[in-house]
Structure 1
Amino acid sequence: MARFTGRSAIVTGAAQGIGAVYAQALAAEGAKVVVADLNTERGQAVAEKIAADGGTAVFARVDVADPESATALAEFTVAEFGGIDHLVNNAAIYGDMKLNLLLTVPWDYYKTFMSVNMDGALNMTRAVWPHMRKAGGSIVNQSSTAAWTYSSFYGLAKVGVNGLTQQLAFELGGSGIRINAIAPGPIDTEATKAVTPEVIVEDMVKRLPLKRMGTPEDLVGACLYLLSDEASWVTGQIFNVDGGQVFRS
């Protein structure tokens, strides 16, 4: 399949893990991909791998918490590929996350965390909107089932991402831009292993109807579908890909 031939896509947080897999999958279906991340070394390696596999990709450094950096990324993409068709807001502080309670987390750390994990998606959407509104396009935000379970400020950020997705669906719809979110359950990545104690992971897996951790590849189908024309009448939705972890009515 080549659903994205001739189209450009930005994937933030694409230097590793889920973001890297999204970028590779989009390139495999013909997209010209901007691998966007703070980690230059790893991000360049992902872009180089995509190119070695026959795809088209470039690396661009971005700090999604900084509106000026987000704007610069959008302008870079237009200069490089002629426009912006798709955006995946995947960047987050996760692998290096400091666990704490909402009641006791240091305020400066909380504000920094939220500026990336929630506000970053808004900064990037605001940055691409002027370039996307003429021809339309689609956006996917990375949420989490943490939005419906106790996960302290991480869960709160994902509640914000869900609300942001739904509110922006109305504001972007008039420009022909769709926006949806994917809410993964526990995913087997380096970041998850670094943050979540093994005993907690084992307990989560025991409670899943499908008795295994998810993989980044398990999320690809939903991401590509939501970005593609196949989902042309789908916007403002939160798609759980979680092995049955969360039931929502």
Structure 2
Amino acid sequence: MSFHNKVVVVTGAGQGIGEGYAKRCAAEGMRVVVAELNAEQGERVVADIQQGGGEAMFVRTDVGDEASCIACAEAAKSAYGKIDYLINNAAIFGDMKIEGYMNVDMDYLDTFMRVNVHGSLLMARACVPHMPEGSAIVNQSSTAAWMNIGFYGVAKLALNGLTCSLANELGWRKIRINAIAPGPTETQGLRNTAGDYADELVKQMPLSRLGTPDDMADAALFLLSDKASWITGHILNVDGGQFMRV
């Protein structure tokens, strides 16, 4: 899989799985746009990549804001001339409210869905005009999509549907779009949200360990690469066998 001089935009790349995506993409020779709302975290990741000999730039990006998404895509195009890949990782997760549908504040729910579902759409709409044939997009879903627990799971289920719908819309442009559905993955965000419950989930899984950001990056690199040139509209579980769909 050759990614030399390819350009990738990674949203939510300032920590967790998104940071793992950004650093692995850089290690594979890509020029990385770290699209992150938290400037301190985003600039730290860029510095780490540059210190390791990679090429990266930080663009402060709010994926829930259309103008911010457009500005990010235009900055990437201005700096690197094109966008080959987009990884839509940004989401409200580690500090999200743990409430049910019957009592969550509706303004909060609107913001949550704007970021966790429509953020991927807004970034795709912003980036696709700068993407040549053969480009690819990877969305970040979750096994929570099939757990029927709260608005986080519903957001991820909606993202799966969005992924498949966009696969239909973008096929004529020769742009592929797929999603990764991580199982419980060792990040601070998981610990903030699930705490010790994550360890209980692991006990029920065939491959009984937490996932790692590297596990997700391996899958993302495959889906971005020409090795997956006839795969689009697919939701790939990377979850140690947590969910088996037949």
TM over 0.5: yes
Amino acid at match of 2:7: S
What is aligned with 1:203?
200
- 3-state SS in 2 of match to 1:225: helix
How far did 1:6 drift? Answer: 1.6
Distance 1:151 1:43 in 2: 31
What is aligned with 1:228?
225
How far did 1:144 drift? Answer: 0.2
What is aligned with 1:81?
80
What is aligned with 2:137?
139
1:246 and 2:243 are equivalent in the alignment: yes
Distance 1:137 1:215 in 2: 26
The 5 A counterparts of 1:15-34 are 15-34=14-33
What is aligned with 1:5?
4
Distance 2:217 2:20 in 1: 7
How far did 1:151 drift? Answer: 2.5
- 3-state SS in 1 of match to 2:18: helix
How far did 1:218 drift? Answer: 1.2
Distance 2:81 2:123 in 1: 18
Distance 2:36 2:69 in 1: 11
What is aligned with 2:183?
185
CA-to-aligned-CA distance 1:53-108 (integer Å, 9 cap, x gap): 01100111000001111000000000010111000000000011010001211101
Distance 1:110 1:79 in 2: 35
Q: Which runs of 4+ in 1 moved over 6 A?
A: none
Distance 2:165 2:20 in 1: 28
Aligned-residue CA RMSD (Å): 0.9
The 5 A counterparts of 1:87-236 are 87-132=86-131, 134-198=132-196, 200-236=197-233
The 5 A counterparts of 1:41-60 are 41-60=40-59
For structure 2, the 5+ residue unaligned runs are: none
How far did 1:4 drift? Answer: 1.0
Amino acid at match of 1:32: R
For structure 1, the 5+ residue unaligned runs are: none
What is aligned with 1:66?
65
Count of aligned positions:
246
- 3-state SS in 2 of match to 1:6: coil
CA-to-aligned-CA distance 1:115-161 (integer Å, 9 cap, x gap): 100000000001011111x4341000000000001320000000011
Distance 1:79 1:136 in 2: 20
Identity of aligned residues (%): 53
- 3-state SS in 1 of match to 2:154: helix
Distance 1:150 1:209 in 2: 21
Amino acid at match of 1:175: R
Distance 2:56 2:220 in 1: 18
How far did 1:205 drift? Answer: 1.1
Q: Which moved more, 1:177-186 or 1:208-217?
A: 208-217
How far did 1:202 drift? Answer: 2.4
Distance 1:202 1:29 in 2: 32
- 3-state SS in 2 of match to 1:47: helix
Distance 1:201 1:6 in 2: 38
Amino acid at match of 1:222: A
What is aligned with 2:36?
37
Distance 1:190 1:245 in 2: 20
